[in-house]
Amino acid sequence: DKLVFRHDAFWANHFGGVYVFLDEKTTTVICDPSVPGFRRSRPWQVGYISLSDHQRIYEFLASTNRLQLPQASWVQDSGLYQHRADMALRALVNQADPTTDLNAIDAIWLQTWIHRNSALVSADGVYPFLQTMIRTIAASGSIKMQDVAPENRFLLVRAAPDHPDQWLTNRLIAQLCPSDFVSRFVFDKQGFYAAYEQYSEKFREYVVATLTSTYLRDKLAFRKRLYGLKEDNTNA
């Protein structure tokens, strides 16, 4: 009755998902603000952040050194930005026409589609934003995050690979970048399968084919390249 199992950081599938991060003197809880007890339980010890408050989530993760901020040294080698841009673009193609066979299209088809659907691409904003950031990092070697809108910042970062909370942090980032279904499959299986249920039949076929040809082909190499992770995780 006195045995205690301490978790330094964890995710719990309660109230739609709750993230708990422990630091030396404080505990930070990130979840839906409608959760019972939000900002009322031990406010002198626990900091509460809404899952929709991208600004505060970013500030918390950055200030506690849980994020790897944009630098050309890792961004260009990882291919993460292009990966997320491709995911966002193909999600838009499916949104515009759920019957499109995404496994049968090529780069030329996509460029033509972008020109024909420029209003939709511009309104969503993710693809052109990431293309701009790819050019910025190539030209200057870094990105001034203070100039980036809070809701776009998580497209540009990954968990600090040397931080013990790297898996939980990457899970949170994946949830905040829903169009990147590959990252969601790697770090947030529950969120991935919930989203998968809503996909069109053609998009499901594309998702399965993409996961099979990328992550599932060599999990360790894929995680090392995209996310900088050097060690395996038995739950992955």
Residue-number span of the structural domain to which 206 is assigned: 69-156+184-227
Annotate the chain with DSSP letters as a single string. Answer: -------SEEEE-STT-EEEEE-SS-EEEEE-TTSTTTTTS-TTTEEEEETT-HHHHHHHHHHTT-EE--BHHHHHHHTHHHHHHHHHHHHHHHHH-TT--GGG--HHHHHHHHHHTHHHHHHH-HHHHHHHHHHHHHHHSB--GGGS-HHHHTTS-EE-TTSTTHHHHHHHHHHH-TT-HHHHHHH-HHHHHHHHTTS-HHHHHHHHHHHHHTGGG-HHHHHHHHH---S--TT-
pLDDT for residue 234: 47
**Does a structural domain hold residue 26?**
no
Assess if residue 2 is contained within a domain: no
Alpha-carbon span 84 to 88, nearest angstrom: 6
Q: Is residue 233 part of a domain?
A: no
Is residue 133 within 8 Å of residue 143, measured between CB atoms?
Answer: yes
Q: How many CB atoms lie within 10 A of CB 106?
A: 7
Q: What tens digit of pLDDT does each residue of 70-122 get? A: 999 999 999 999 999 999 999 999 999 999 999 999 999 999 999 999 999 99
- Phi then psi for residue 73, to 5 deg, are -55, -35
Question: Measured between alpha carbons, how far is residue 231 from residues 31, 83, 220, 224, 228 in Å?
Answer: 28, 22, 8, 8, 9
Cβ neighbours for 168, distance < 8 A, ≥ 6 positions apart: 9, 10, 11, 19, 21
Task: Give the global pTM.
Answer: 0.89
Q: What average pLDDT values come out for the chain (236 residues) when binned by 10 residues?
A: 63 75 86 71 74 95 96 96 96 95 95 97 97 97 95 97 95 95 96 95 96 95 94 58
> In this structure, how many other beta carbons lie within 10 angstroms of the beta carbon of residue 68?
21
pLDDT of residue 176: 95
Cα distances (angstroms) measured from residue 81 to each of 137, 157, 236: 10, 9, 22
Q: Classify residue 80: in a domain, yes or no.
A: yes
Q: Is residue 6 part of a domain?
A: no
Task: Kindly state whether residue 179 falls inside one of the protein's structural domains.
Answer: no
Closest CA to 20 of 169, 125, 203: 169
Rg (CA), the chain: 19
Q: For position 6, what pLDDT does the model report?
A: 56
CB atoms within 10 A of CB 179: 21
Whether residue 29 is contained in a domain is answered as no
Specify the number of domains making up the chain.
1
Q: How far is CA 126 from the centre of its chain?
A: 13
Q: Is residue 20 part of a domain?
A: no
